[in-house]
Amino acid sequence: MLMNNLFSKKSITILSILILCIITSIFLSYQMFQNSDPIPVPESSVIVTSTPSATVTRKPSPTETTIPIPTVSSTPKRVTSACVYALVNDETKKLLLRADKEMALPDGYEPEVVKLPLEYILQGWTEQYLIPETANAAMELIDAAKKEGHDIVIRSSYRSYQEQEWTFAYWVKELGLEQAKRESAVPGHSEHQLGQAIDLTSESVNWDLKEEFGNTPEGIWVDQNLHKFGFALSYPRDKEEITGYIYEPWHLRYVGKACSKEWYESGKTLIEVLKGIHLDY
């Protein structure tokens, strides 16, 4: 009986301790919850996505200003041309070498030339030569003119440096030095040395090289159509101040169809086009 009472008292004591521990634990947990920081909630102005590649976009406040994005014109400004491009193209830049009052050809310059068929040169005249591109274009031009009823031929074409020495010396003897410089190039400065220049003539001017050629039906046709075959008029009327030479309607220089078209449309002299002066930067 005594043993039962002792066991009963011991059980009640243990149970009381356990209850006290549970109450204490609950009380401490409640205190910890009360003292802890609240769980942060995202602001409504922030968009968050779980996609790794997405960005966070923040709406600007009323005090902020948005920097305008500059617009770019879809039309690029013209900074080049067919003539300028050809100058840096190894296959065509030889066609645009300058030979004028300011610029001389390289020392010893001798192009590879071919002999022209007799039907394209003045009858009884000496043999004529041109570089292949110019020879083909010259024959096409003369054939086209003939189909339109205009009989024109080549009186002069390629001249070597030595031939230009003789030519210039002849004109100095005939005209004097100052006038000769207006009508003939000093050696090394002649477009004829390029093998790309031709002097045309017709029966209307007695097969000579005269300013009147520009007023003949043949000369007018040439002036209106030369650019279609890759030629330019090197020394036009009233442009001596720019070119350094008198008006020569008979003197054509081959520069290729792309560049001749640009020259024709520019309204400038050939020397201005070769210098790039005609471009609108």
State the number of CA atoms in the 13 A half-sphere of 197 facing the CB. Answer: 25
What is 12-77 written as a DSSP string? HHHHHHHHHHHHHHHHHHHHHHHHSPPPP---TTB---S-TT----BPPPTT--PPPPPP--SSPP
The token pair at 106 is: 């390289």
**One-letter amino acid for residue 26 of the chain:** I
Strand partners of residue 233: 252
The C-alpha atoms of residue 111 and residue 229 are separated, in whole angstroms, by: 21
Active site residue 211: no
197 three-state secondary structure = strand
Single out the catalytic residue among 133, 218, 248, 262.
248
The C-alpha atoms of residue 197 and residue 178 are separated, in whole angstroms, by: 23
The C-alpha atoms of residue 95 and residue 195 are separated, in whole angstroms, by: 10
Beta strands in 92-145 (DSSP E): 114-115, 129-130
- DSSP secondary structure letter of residue 212: G
What is the four-CA torsion angle of 252, 257, 262, 266, rounded to 10 degrees?
A: 30
H-run or E-run covering 145: helix 132-147
What is the four-CA torsion angle of 143, 204, 216, 194, rounded to 10 degrees?
A: 60
Active site residues: 248
